[in-house]
Amino acid sequence: MRVVRRAARAILIDSGGQLIVFRRSLPGQPPYWATVGGGVDQQDTSVEAALHREVAEELGATVDRVQQVFLTSATRHSGGGTPGITVQHFFVCRLTSMNLAARTGDEFTNPAKGRYDVERIDLRGEDLARFALQPSALKDFILANRDALLEAVADPAPDRDRSGSGSGFR
């Protein structure tokens, strides 16, 4: 099988250690939470370029400290799409600015797409365990690696050893 869809998604953390996610509400379905991001378009020069475009479209936001940390894949057999493999690239990144009034895209103007409400989840406590973050493997990854994720977006201490002793991700 071949890869038929790639997506770039943000494990987006603000300066207060909070994960920025969407609370997705679709008509007739229970809500769930999802990270910001979407498909890699043909005009995107890289998966990371797609991430920056998606963050700008969906949040009117900019990010820095971008690092790919997680990857998921699934087989798509039907559902109206071409059969094959779908791959999601997850990048940890730090929110540097956000202007929700600058959001663009059909998902924000078409009521049939449901709601995309921005929420923040404190990564320093146990809050994330209560949320139905999708995919569930991502939730497990974040819970197992929250300290390393927070470290990845933190301002470096002036005396921190920069020898590169490893990423700290499991």
**Identity (one letter) of the amino acid at 119?**
E
Alpha-carbon distance of 72 to 106, in angstroms, equals 25
Domain membership of residue 56 (yes or no) is yes
DSSP letter for 123, please: T
Which domain, by its residues, includes 51?
Answer: 3-153
Number of domains, the chain:
1
Each residue of 56-106: pLDDT tens digit?
Answer: 999 999 999 999 999 999 998 766 677 899 999 999 999 999 999 999 988
Domain membership of residue 119 (yes or no) is yes
**CATH code assigned at 130:** 3.90.79.10
Domain membership of residue 163 (yes or no) is no
Domain membership of residue 117 (yes or no) is yes
User: What is the token pair recorded at 149?
Assistant: 């994720």
Write out the DSSP string of 50-84.
Answer: HHHHHHHHHHSEEEEEEEEEEEEEEEE--SSS-SE
Helix or strand run (H / E) with residue 94: strand 84-98
User: What is the token pair recorded at 74?
Assistant: 């699934």
Mean pLDDT (the chain) is 91
Query: What global pTM score does this model have?
Result: 0.89
